[in-house]
Amino acid sequence: MSSLADSDLLHVWETMRRQTLPRRAAALLAVATPGMTNAQLAGMSLGERERRLLDLHARCFGARLSCVADCVECGETFEFELDARTLSSGWPTPAEVAQPLSIEAQDLHIDISLPTVADSIVASDEHDAAHAYRTLLQRCLVCTTQSGDPVAPEALPPALLQEAAARMESADPAAELLISMPCPACEAVLTEPLDLAAFCWAEVEARAPRLLAEVHALASHYGWSEADILAMSRVRRDAYLEMVSS
Ligand SMILES: [Zn+2]
C-alpha cells in the first residue's frame, strides 16, 4: 500500500463528502492501493478492510488515534489515545479451528458468506439500521429447508441468527473491532467499537482545508496551478509558504 498523494486526498474528500463511511473507506483504500482491482476491493473481508485502514492511518496520518468516550456508568467524557502499532500487533486472527460456514438445524440448511466491502456499502445505502441489517442478512445468508424450499433469512429463529453471527465473528474477528478502556473517574470498564473508517475520514476532513489554504496562498502569490502546487514535495511547498508569509 502506498501513501496518499495530496491530490488523491483532495479528490476523495471532494467526491465522498456526502457519502457513507463504508463508501469513503473503499475510496481511500482504492487510491492508496493502485494495483488493486475494483473486484478485489469489493470482495475484501471487513477484517482485511480494517487492517488496511489501520495501515493507511499509520502511513498517512500517523500512528496515534485520538479517541473520546462517554462513560455509561458515571457520564464522564474522557479522551485517550491508541497507538496503531500496538493495535496492529494485537490484531485478532481467525479461530484456529474454524467453524464451518454453514448450519444444519431444525430442518434448515444455512450457508453463510462473510460480509465484504461491497456488502457493507450496499447495507450503508439503506435509509435506516433495520433495513441495513435485513440487506446484510439477505446478502450473507442463503437458507433452505432440507427439501430445498427457500427461507427468507430475516424469518430465521433468533437463536439461529445468533449462531450465524457467531460463526462470522470467529471466521473474521477483526470485522468489528472493540476496545476496552477503564473510565478514569469511576473505573468502570467501557467497551467501544473502533471504527477505523471514521478515524481516517476525520483526518481527511482536517487535512483537506489545510491543503486548499496552501494552494490558495501559493496560487495567489505565484500564479501556479493547483496541480503543480500539490505535486510539489512537502519540503519545497513549506519553503515557499514561509517566503510568502514573511
Ligand atoms: Zn465512569
CA 177 to centroid of ligand 1, rounded, Å: 22
The answer to whether 194 touches 179, Cβ cutoff 8 Å, is yes
Strands 77-83 and 64-70: antiparallel
Q: Both 48 and 71 in a single domain? A: yes
Q: Both 54 and 18 in a single domain? A: yes
For ligand 1, a single-atom ion, which residues have Cβ within 5 Å?
71, 73-74, 76, 183, 185-186, 188
Nine-digit cell string for 74? 458515571
CA 72 to centroid of ligand 1, rounded, Å: 7
CA–CA distance, 92 with 51 (Å, rounded to integer): 10
Please name which of 225, 209, 219, 217 lies closest in space to residue 246, comparing C-alpha atoms: 217
CA–CA distance, 49 with 41 (Å, rounded to integer): 9
CA–CA distance, 168 with 172 (Å, rounded to integer): 6
CA 70 to centroid of ligand 1, rounded, Å: 8
Query: Which range is least confidently modeled, 90-94, 131-135, 165-169?
Result: 90-94
Of 171, 200, 230, which residue is a domain's last? Answer: 171
Q: Both 79 and 183 in a single domain? A: yes
Range of the domain at 117: 101-171
CA 91 to centroid of ligand 1, rounded, Å: 27
The answer to whether 92 touches 178, Cβ cutoff 8 Å, is no
CA 191 to centroid of ligand 1, rounded, Å: 12
Residue 232, domain member (yes or no)? no
Residue 230, domain member (yes or no)? no
CA–CA distance, 34 with 212 (Å, rounded to integer): 24
Q: Both 12 and 87 in a single domain? A: yes
CA 190 to centroid of ligand 1, rounded, Å: 8
Quick one: how far is CA 28 from the chain centroid?
Answer: 10
Q: Both 10 and 88 in a single domain? A: yes
Neighbour-count burial for 187-226, b at 16+ CB within 10 Å, e otherwise: eeebeeebebbebbbebbeebbeebeebbebbeeeeebee
pLDDT at 55 over 80: yes
pLDDT in tens, 158-200: 999 999 999 999 999 999 999 988 999 998 999 989 999 999 9
> How confident is the model at residue 1, as a pLDDT?
64
Residue 132, domain member (yes or no)? yes
CA 82 to centroid of ligand 1, rounded, Å: 19
- Residues linked to residue 82 through DSSP beta bridges, in sequence order: 65
Residue 240, domain member (yes or no)? no
Q: Both 163 and 51 in a single domain? A: no
pLDDT in tens, 139-161: 999 999 988 899 999 989 999 99
Confidence of residue 73 (pLDDT cuts 50, 70, 90): very high
Q: Both 73 and 141 in a single domain? A: no
Q: Does the CA dihedral 83-119-21-42 come out positive or negative?
A: positive
- The runs of H, that is alpha helices, within the chain are 6-16, 21-32, 38-42, 46-60, 84-89, 117-124, 129-140, 158-171, 196-222, 226-231, 234-245
Give the count of domains, the chain. Answer: 2
CA 63 to centroid of ligand 1, rounded, Å: 27
How distant, in Å, are the alpha carbons of 55, 106, 107, 119, 158 from that of 163? 31, 13, 15, 20, 9
pLDDT at 68 over 80: yes
Q: Both 10 and 73 in a single domain? A: yes
pLDDT in tens, 21-34: 999 999 999 999 98
Q: Both 13 and 86 in a single domain? A: yes
Q: Both 47 and 163 in a single domain? A: no
Specify the pTM: 0.90
Q: Both 87 and 117 in a single domain? A: no
Q: Both 183 and 157 in a single domain? A: no
The answer to whether 13 touches 204, Cβ cutoff 8 Å, is yes
CA 67 to centroid of ligand 1, rounded, Å: 16
CB count in 10 Å sphere of residue 236: 10
> How confident is the model at residue 106, as a pLDDT?
81
CA 186 to centroid of ligand 1, rounded, Å: 4
Residue with cell 505535486: 231
